[in-house]
Chain A
């Protein structure tokens, strides 16, 4: 019997493959999945160019990194020039202060090839020092964590799963072709499993490959030695964690949206409810947080996304901090949530009817 079910599941996957991977109406799923890749590639290209430019400038105006640390506010332009030499770029302007007084503001820039020093003078005295580092690996991994958790998981994978899994049943209802499946000697549960696995295969391939490419795109700006060092320390573990989290997001959200497509004639409302529930997760009390996918997915992320500094204080107050779940609990919880949703959907699929006229 198991062998028959496996054969049937494979036959369903083969039938669904073209639809899940190459459907014209599924094109936007690829756009969602690969949008961050475009951003990261552009970022890497821009940073790469900037790094090359700063290195060239540093060769023409050599400054040591240690000398940067000697610069203190209140120093005069001459003192600064004595320590760092002439800046590679500078500009100044006069501003009127009151009726007669005029002040001179000037800005100097230095680089050691890896970072930039921005100095602001007022009437010849150093008033502010700002140091800007080009991307470091730890910065890059924080950027990735932020994009991955706030955009990729919450929006791209979420809506990608909506697009793929809802259509597995609902799309065929609308196309009026679902009955062909129901006219075969296939248990409804097997049909559901086959469709779920077909959707899972598509989303896991699309989204994990995008995750991997995003990761590579971000690392691309660094030299080989830096990348090799990073990968051998925490890089591979972070990389595999992100792939696993992406795949688990497809597993969890996939089951939810398969059930939505099966049970609801209009999937927009339940999708909006799930989106809202996942969106307000940071503000929920600890017990309710745990009845969501995003809580467990974020618990599995190797780098926690830094809180946005622009978030108003009042909103920050509403965020309820909670310890992330351990790895095993997080994985187990996602698997259990998925299992429960699929079992309920399978039971309900036995009551599924073909009534295209009401669709």
Chain B
């Protein structure tokens, strides 16, 4: 299994006295994985560790079975788009991609072909002959992305890749990530933009203060914390009061199968529905089916905090506030 995953085993990195990341143990499967956390939480350090730009003070890392200390092997299948907004001087967009592709030892013709393809993928065909120094921020972001994907990597690591992109390019870029993930590749993305993370991620790694606070699929992370933070459902129905009372009643029935862990039910203004908090989301959903069969007209059920915003808020927001 470890051969197709990015594994970090008890990895720590200190910059002198300053903590970069501490005791991080992760096993990242194929698909889109988002690193989420406030500034200074260790996302970039983690990406730099995975790509060997910095070395761990402790612990071991392997990317599809290859150690980051072997760049000659690692970067045959890894592409990394960093946040560093600087480029070698005097190069045009296509020269930049081509020159660094040549370092892989590929023949010139193949490099030219790969360069053209990468530039097309990021929509920079018209600007490819211009100096990178004259590019806008969004174009520089795209040319970095082009450099990361030019050699068609199996593992794509992207530090804030959507920063500075206009909405159209943003959606094209997200589509590219999704296509990569659908092909069974690893796409590891760090982002501050939670709605994008929520939209694209197969799994998230929540980081704070150099530690991994939670990891896994958003739903999985959410259900892990539902004991302290009951899950919220917004139920639209014509009889919200009846639904609320029935929901509480369910917890008192002798049949344990029908109990649903409801801890709070709040009627919405204008009587459009009810907001229910439960410690057992699956049981509550089953109970709702029973209630519907009992004759309550339910128009819709929306999980109100089953997303990365809420998970981030619950796990990190409070820590940020105390910091």
The chain B residue sitting closest to A183, CB to CB, is B80
Closest approach, in angstroms, between the C-beta of B156 and any C-beta of chain A? 12
Contact B71 A184 (CB under 8 A): yes
How far is A96 from B51 in the complex, measured between Cα atoms in Å? 89
Any A CB within 8 A of the CB of B256: no
Binding-face segment, B81-89, B118-126, B232-240, B302-310: B81-89
Closest approach, in angstroms, between the C-beta of B286 and any C-beta of chain A? 50
Contact A354 B48 (CB under 8 A): yes
Which chain B residues lie closer than 8 Å to A186 at the CB level? 71-72, 75, 103-104
The chain B residue sitting closest to A194, CB to CB, is B103
Partner of B54 from the list A12, A14, A181, A354 (CB cut-off 8 Å) is: A354
Q: Chain B interface mostly helix, strand, loop or mixed?
A: loop
Any B CB within 8 A of the CB of A286: no
Closest approach, in angstroms, between the C-beta of B149 and any C-beta of chain A? 12
Any A CB within 8 A of the CB of B2: no
Contact A8 B103 (CB under 8 A): yes
Contact A15 B72 (CB under 8 A): no
A152-183 interface mask toward B, CB cutoff 8 Å, 1 = contact, 0 = none? 00000000000000000000100111011111
Any A CB within 8 A of the CB of B55: yes
Closest approach, in angstroms, between the C-beta of B253 and any C-beta of chain A? 60
How far is A356 from B54 in the complex, measured between Cα atoms in Å? 11
Any B CB within 8 A of the CB of A4: yes
Which chain A residues lie closer than 8 Å to B85 at the CB level? 176
The chain A residue sitting closest to B75, CB to CB, is A185
Within 8 A of B (CB), among A186-222: 186-188, 190
How far is A188 from B73 in the complex, measured between Cα atoms in Å? 12
Any A CB within 8 A of the CB of B289: no
Closest approach, in angstroms, between the C-beta of B42 and any C-beta of chain A? 14
Contact A185 B104 (CB under 8 A): yes
Any B CB within 8 A of the CB of A56: no
Q: How many residues of B contact A (CB 8 A)?
A: 32
How far is A184 from B99 in the complex, measured between Cα atoms in Å? 11
Contact B105 A8 (CB under 8 A): yes
Any A CB within 8 A of the CB of B179: no
How far is A180 from B76 in the complex, measured between Cα atoms in Å? 14
Closest approach, in angstroms, between the C-beta of B78 and any C-beta of chain A? 8
Given A175-B89, A180-B147, A185-B71, A355:B15 Cβ within 8 A:
yes
Given A14-B99, A15-B88, A18-B90, A184:B104 Cβ within 8 A:
yes
Contact A19 B89 (CB under 8 A): yes
Any B CB within 8 A of the CB of A351: yes
Any A CB within 8 A of the CB of B102: yes
Contact B102 A183 (CB under 8 A): no
The chain B residue sitting closest to A174, CB to CB, is B86
Contact B54 A355 (CB under 8 A): yes
How far is A22 from B88 in the complex, measured between Cα atoms in Å? 14
Given A351-B55, A354-B53, A355-B15, A188:B48 Cβ within 8 A:
no
Q: Could you list some 17 contacts between A and B, CB below 8 A?
A: A4-B105, A7-B105, A8-B105, A11-B99, A11-B102, A15-B88, A19-B88, A23-B89, A175-B86, A176-B84, A177-B86, A177-B89, A183-B147, A184-B71, A184-B75, A185-B104, A186-B103
User: Which A residues fall within an 8 A CB radius of B?
Assistant: 4, 7-8, 11-12, 14-15, 18-19, 23, 172, 175-177, 179-188, 190, 350-351, 353-356, 358
User: Which B residues fall within an 8 A CB radius of A?
Assistant: 15, 48, 51-55, 69, 71-76, 79-80, 82, 84-90, 99-100, 102-105, 147-148
